[in-house]
Structure 1
Amino acid sequence: MKYNTTRCLIKNDNYFKNLLFGFLLVCLFGCNNSEKKGIATVVPKNKAGLILNTGIKTCESQLEIAVPKLTDLTKHPRLIATNETEWKEVPNDRLVWTSGFYPGILWYMYDLTQNKKWEAEAIKRTEVFEDFKTITEHHDIGFMMFPAYGNGYIIGKKEAYKDILLTSAASLASRFNPNVGTIKSWSNKMHPRWQQHITIIDNMLNLELLFWAAKNGGDQEFYNIAVKHAETTMKNHFRDDYTSWHVLEYDSITGDVINKHTKQGYADNSRWSRGQAWGIYGYTLVYRETKDTKFLDFAKKITDKYLSLLPEDYVPCWDFDVQDDPKEEKDASAAAVVASALLELSTYMDNQTDKERYYNAAIKMLESLNSEAYTGVGKADSFLLHSTGAKSLGHEIDVALIYADYYYIEALSRLKQIMANNLADE
């Protein structure tokens, strides 16, 4: 694969010009602004602008390389293996949970640039799996449909997607077990280790589909199911120190917790970093939709625990319980998920200290992800490298993952909105 060296040089030149400009801004205006808002606000503000601008340019340049290669509409990009450069595509199968992330990336690229080319590409890649709206075999319909059809409805104003999303929400809600109080995640046939009702921490993100549907003409019971799932998960899925288990098995009749295990973490009792990331993102969105402060308080507690465990570059090892070993792989996807979540969480803080702390942490994560250590620029077709999907299962180890790219570009979109709002308030 050949890269456009000229474009890379131009991009890097612009980056250093922007960096110099940002430094001069700090020098010229830093003192006055620090008197008004505090030094901690000024430096990230300038840094954030550089991260946002270079991040958008990087994502667009990477898509310019990758999209012409991804022409088979029956497949979607899933990963780029270690030392490979191009996306491995997998079928748009009803059991493959990652199919919605690539069209979601394209929708966000359209949102960030307003370039109609990306809108057209997003529509083409979204509408190939409308039939997935009837999936009831697992909980991942939320992951599959909302990044694609949800962003298409919200960003692309595609009214025709509304009924597809409502049907998808009904399909997801059909897996709710009132005896347990959660949506069943996997089928027992797919995961025979567990014989009864399984719920994984990842499922928190699928609640967004239910909340959206309840607000947009769907059954109001969707809202109640989402809230009950969040409450039950908050009660059972976290340890006293606010770290998360991955998989809980419930008695389908009594609702009692039978087992607390893992599928993708290092051990049943270990702290899988992306699991904690799913929780942070999930409870932030639950607060957004309910405005119930118990969910906000919980989001803060599990976030603070996550931040306390991070290494210096704010990108965690794939499991916190093995990260003291320098040979263990990182998981950039966890950092991307949390960066996106923290940008939103920061906007819900009444306390200025907490607002700045979460915002600054998100900026630090994006700064690392945008650095030479993690970027795919000049190395592969992805935005990010060094994610780990399931090391305990022996695959997706130190690779590029499509959902890492999705949450990274979502974080950029959220950062752009926050900066625009702050500018409007000044």
Structure 2
Amino acid sequence: MRMRKQAIEDAVARVRRNMDAFGGKFPHVGSGGGPYERIENEDWTNGFWPGMLWLCYEYSGDGAFADAARKVTESFRQRLEHNTVLDHHDIGFLYSLSAKAEWFVLGHEDARELALRAADKLMERWREAGGGYIQAWGPAGDEAQGGRIIIDCLLNLPLLFWAANETGEERFRQAAVRQAELTRRYLVRGDDSSYHTFIFNQENGEPIGGTTHQGYSNGSTWTRGQAWGVYGFALAYRYTGDQAYLDTSKRMALYFLRRLPEDHVAYWDFHAPVCPDTYRDSSASAIVAAGLQELLEHLPADDSDRSELWSGLTASIDSLIERYSTMGDPEAEGLLRHGSYYVRGNIAPDDFIIWGDYYYLEALMRLERGIRGYWYPPQADRGGRA
């Protein structure tokens, strides 16, 4: 559709302007509807900016985007060497969209080696005691955060799956499969909704219970967490071929789509009371728009739910463009309005969100140009995008 192409062109032009505006810093979240907050390379969100640069390079062929992205890769090299705020599981978000993306697009060996070192760093989160899992936050044995897995980790697992394929070291694959299976078993509920986090006894692995950090309540369904499940399980299927992951992705997607409001863009939690002031989370719908394309690619042509999933995808992406994008506002730095970071903590509950921008752009480019992002290799042989 012409509108989607216009949305991509607008986004690429906006990213081009932002390269100079950000001045080597990283966009994080909006500042009350104004410009993006600029931060150093020290947060879990920093990978989404280079991911956007690589997408724009692949779309446009303009070397300025690649040059800017390569400079960012060097920043990530320094971050790993100095171990700057890497005591969490989001290393896959950081290095899949920076170093691994550079390897996929340009085939630079030093970028590949950096991504493999990042996979080793992520493996430091593995906790063999208690049955084996990737601890989301905090040091081993931490009383507050120990024993915790979270659904967001699904999007960090592609770094480990890729590292296993690159090196032949099964420890990466075994950890990723174990984490995916724990997530499927304990974070996905019987009605296909999801917990944000789940806690295990750190000593013996006994399951304690599901909780939330960012959702409305422990028993509610935080929409961004549900979105991570839709995309993350589809990616786990791509790497493993395990039908249970594909089925789980589909069931979570149908749960998500069937609970959307009339404009097809999610509120921040499916169980939050709805009133005129209830916050949306456009980033959750952007993630699902990207994840649905991965899911649909794997479903058989005669799957009975294909039509509903495809209709949900197109309705969501077109609504994001028409009602939530900043097209027509040349002063805006973000691509999508009305993203929610941490509503309960009143941290950017209704603003630009850099990961929302990334997934929106990835979803558009995959839909219109077949550019799929950087969660798995673009072709069977190593290095370089087909």
Assess same fold via TM > 0.5: yes
Question: Offset at 1:239?
Answer: 1.7
Residue number among 223, 247, 258 corresponding to 1:273 in the alignment: 223
Asked if the contact 1:182–1:233 (Cα under 8 Å) also holds between the matched residues in 2, the reply is no
Aligned partner letter, 1:52: R
Q: CA deviation at 1:402?
A: 0.7
Number of the residue aligned with 1:186: 137
1:105-142: per-residue Cα shift (whole Å, max 9, x none)?
A: 00011111112121111112222121334655211111
| Deviation, structure 1 residue 159 | 2.4
Shift of 1:326: 2.4
Question: What is the Cα deviation at residue 209 of structure 1?
Answer: 0.3
Match of 2:146 among 166, 171, 196: 196
Indicate yes or no: 2:4 matched with 1:89. no
Paired residues, what number?
366
Q: In the alignment, which residue of structure 2 is the partner of 1:108? A: 55
Q: Residue 416 of structure 1: CA displacement?
A: 3.1
In structure 2, the gaps of 5 or more residues are 373-386
Change (3 A) 1:153 1:386: same
TM-superposed CA distance for 1:341, in Å, is: 0.4
- The residue type equivalent to 1:291 in the other structure is G
Distance (whole Å) between structure 1 residues aligned to residue 157 and residue 17 of structure 2 = 34
Instruction: Look up the equivalent residue of 2:312 and give its one-letter code.
Output: A
Which one of 157, 160, 163 corresponds to residue 210 of structure 1? Answer: 160
Equivalent residue for 2:203, pick from 224, 249, 253: 253
Matches within 5 A, 1:137-156: 137-156=87-106
Cα separation, partners in 2 of 1:219 and 1:51, compared to 1, 3 Å: farther
Q: Tell me which amino acid in the other structure corresponds to 1:384.
A: L
Q: Deviations along 1:205-231, whole A, 9 cap, x unmatched?
A: 100100111111252210111111111
Equivalent pair of 1:200/1:246 in contact (CA under 8 Å): yes
**Equivalent in the alignment of 1:16:** none
**Are the aligned partners of 1:271 and 1:320 in contact in 2 as well (CA < 8 Å)?**
yes
Residues 371-401 of structure 1: per-residue CA shift (max 9 Å, x gap)? 1444364151111111000011111110101
Confirm or deny: 8 A CA contact 2:4 2:318 kept in the other structure. no
Displacement, 1:280? 0.8
1:399 corresponds to: 351
Equivalent of residue 295 in structure 1, options 245, 256, 262: 245
Q: Indicate yes or no: 2:160 matched with 1:160.
A: no
Between 207-216 and 51-60, the greater mean CA deviation after superposition: 51-60
Residue 316 of structure 1 is matched in structure 2 by: 266
* Bigger-Rg structure (1/2): 1
Structure 1 runs (4+) greater than 6 angstroms displaced: 189-192
Q: Which amino acid aligns with 2:211?
A: H
1:52 shift after superposition = 3.4
Describe the superposition over 1:301-339 as per-residue Cα deviations: whole angstroms up to 9, x where unpaired.
Answer: 111111111112221011111252221111011011000
TM value normalised by structure 1 = 0.81
SS in 1 for 2:298: coil
Q: Is the 8 A contact 2:28 2:353 kept in 1?
A: yes
Q: Give the whole-Å Cα distance in 1 for the aligned partners of 2:234 and 2:3.
A: 23
d(CA) in 2 for partners of 1:399, 1:225: 35
Q: SS where residue 235 of structure 1 aligns?
A: helix
Pick one of 12, 17, 31 that aligns with 1:60. Answer: 12
> Residue 71 of structure 2: SS of its match in structure 1?
helix
Q: Distance in 1 between matches of 2:57 and 2:307?
A: 29
Task: Please say if 1:283 is aligned against 2:233.
Answer: yes
Give the 3 Å change call, closer, same or farther, for CA 320–165 of structure 1 in structure 2: same
**Secondary structure of 1:391's partner?**
coil
Give the stretch that moved more between structures: 146-155 or 60-69. Answer: 60-69
What CA distance in whole angstroms lies between the structure 1 residues aligned with 2:21 and 2:340?
Answer: 24
Shift, 1:154, TM fit: 1.0
Q: Return the offset for 1:413.
A: 2.5
2:140/2:146 contact within 8 Å kept:
no
Q: Distance in 1 between matches of 2:12 and 2:71?
A: 18
CA pair 127-373 structure 1, distance change in 2 beyond 3 A = same
Structure 1 residues 132, 219: CA separation in 2 closer, same or farther (over 3 Å shift)? farther
Amino acid in the other structure paired with 2:98: A
The question of whether the paired residues in 2 share the 8 Å contact of 1:111 and 1:413 is answered with no
Letter of the structure 2 residue corresponding to residue 138 of structure 1: H
8 Å CA contact 1:62, 1:377 repeated in 2: no
Instruction: Structure 1: state its 5+ residue gaps.
Output: 1-48, 421-426
The one-letter code of the counterpart of 2:363 is A
Which residue of 175, 181, 202 maps to 2:125? 175
TM (normalized to structure 2)?
Answer: 0.89
Retained in 2: the 8 A contact 1:197–1:249?
yes
Q: Is this contact kept in 2: 1:343–1:358, CA < 8 A?
A: no
Determine which structure has greater relative contact order: mean sequence separation of CA pairs < 8 Å that are 6+ residues apart, divided by chain length: 2
8 Å contact from structure 1 (residues 344, 414) kept in 2? no
Identity %: 32
SS at match of 2:28: strand
Which whole-Å CA distance do the structure 2 matches of 1:161 and 1:195 have between them?
32
| 1:21-50 deviations in Å (ceiling 9; x for gaps) | xxxxxxxxxxxxxxxxxxxxxxxxxxxx32
Residues 1:108 and 1:418: Cα distance change in structure 2 (over 3 Å):
closer
